[in-house]
Chain A
């Protein structure tokens, strides 16, 4: 396995693992976490480098491992031109953001946490753009939503941060659900969840009857993630995040994930009228609304947020136009927007950092306080406005050109270039506001700090990005051209169309539109005051976030309403509902079946003894209900029921079950008896007559249903006898004649491992519950007689001590023969536990603890280790987990003896059963001795 075959997953895993490391590094020095985050990002970039070179040479790399092939889920990574473009943006801008954030965060902010979240996001985002398998992509997609939630709510003490984070998660998470459904449909239509197959199945998918639902669902995922109308409102509210987060997630990368999907599925889904209408019109609406609203924001970051929405709308619109050249323009604008918008957010962060405010009505005339930053901001804003010689101009020209081309498609399509120009006008106006309001326009008003230039290294990321804006804007052929070319090829999955990146295309319609936009923008900005007043009066209150809030409030009210009905904090009510619905579900099953109730299987004859024993069971059960107020009596009757159940197992050829039931019955009664000491001896009458009737009817109906169901099954023959397999393979495959035990320790060993883990956890849980428990210790019994403080009865003491070695010997015997005769780890464990418990009961816990110095925690841990270790040994030898092996050895005296690896597993079972049982009973028993120091009943 050489490096070039695993480097794609490695690049994704590096940031994800680095997230944990940064938290650890922050314990030593807070800045160490920043260095580590930067280092991890560089390493991820280095890991991708050889593959990037291959992609630039025209290759598409796929690295995949089968995961759940039956479900179409592979662990599969892919790097093509589109993935390369996004991976580069994520890592390079990520690196700049890390450098910037190291200076941005104040000494009160936890750096370790911040960089851990940031790396978590970076890894998830890389996972999205590098996934070959669509289901895997979906997992990373949800991870970006989650890490974005953590980043927005980074300042957890601020309520706007918490609300913004919740809103972002609700909107993008909801969209994620729609996307999942869409991708499932897509995978079903293409017959595979691997992108390579899906990308080739375009014609088949577009002709499929599921095309439209799949398109709508995927579009919902895209629109929510990329803040398209009408889901755009979460993005401005996400601006409560620290500014490096806004620069990284909410302008350069995460909001582009939706756009990425549009590009990814462009060859598959585009080219239909549905695509153009849905994607194109939403993009156009978003473009206009975003550009218009941005002008009226007084918050610096608010302006940039709406501007981002508008530019995302522009890119969406371009993809919606559906032509190859429009896709080129869209990809080009993705690159340009990432550079100028990230730098603008960083500038906004610097201004916030150095002046203490983001309100443009107060921040004025900063040019003389921070000239360097001002120049950077002006260049980046000009790029955003689409001023010539900057990168934004080039892609905007391409956009205008495509708008003009689209205007030929139908009679009404002339509105496309018209609206595009209108959006251009507003975009120039808000860019101008960003420059004029902040850096000119008089003196600052009442700022908390005196503004000055930021630390040098905080500005370097902005320097780098602005230089990129200029370089791409003036020399596109020598800078961005190769990257754009592979990205186009990766998106279209075809050779790129002819396009020109020249700065000057001659006098043409797009240039005219640019000029109109520039002049119009200046004009709008000049007359802004009346427009502001109009906006404040008419538009401002009508925001979509009010709709969202309204929906959320009603949803919560509805949830409260439903919960009040079903859950009034009462176990009795909850149980009644659960059991009632069980009855209804069973009833529905019975009523929908047309088969006769009874089958034709030959019934077994009934003999007198069985009838008597069976009647005992029924009478004892009923008696335990009738007598349930007298708890001790009811408990004795309950014990009788359990004994009869074990007799039933004897009768019906299940000796293993009979042995287990018998021993469990004894420990259960001992346990309940111990517990009853601390509980009231009698149950008070609480339930009303009405409730008793209600419960009684429900109980009767459920009992009738269970009886009929059991009868229906038992009177039929088994259709597919699974038993045959186990009976046939028990001796040759598992090396044991006791099939029940072979199933437990071999065929279904994994289940058993889970079950003993549950038992161990129950034991530990009880141990934890009993620590520092407050108990009501009775001083007298129910008859008013004082509890005897006498030592344990002498005869029992003597007998129990003689019995102890005998019981242990029986346990060992039952254990050893378990593979071939009734017995095994469970039963032997219960017998051994009974032996130990008997000593405790007869001789007292202190006496026993002195002589049997075992820590039951170690038995539990040891048992689980032995059982799991047996499985791991099999793995180490190259077999699946818990594969067993066996051999026959000849022991002198004992004779021919079979040694199976399953026996080690059974030893683990034995240890856990003994450990859990003894721990539960002894811990409970101990309590009665310390009871004297605890409040008495009735006190």
Chain B
């Protein structure tokens, strides 16, 4: 039987990356897109920030936008941890976060246009 008081590491270490913080500076949707800014790019070249920051900045650079979910999966970090790190980077101007278009208002033409783009894109696949 495992020792319950003994941290396995898998749960403890990820939040150590965020210095124990579990609340992000901003809410970021699973599918929100992240792109490295010019400032973020020069930050990686200058070797600034923690290794997670550098990894994310490199991953989302050069037009390769990635969702929060992809960042978490590729870094093998729990979603909540990745969200805290990306929110920190966004507040430092290292990445831009593009939230998904809201579909809540059914009379909103922006949402309808998005659905039409998705539909024609799927038909072209």
Whether chain B is bound by chain A comes out as no
Q: Which residues of A contact B (CB under 8 A)?
A: none
Instruction: Identify the B interface with A (CB < 8 A).
Output: none
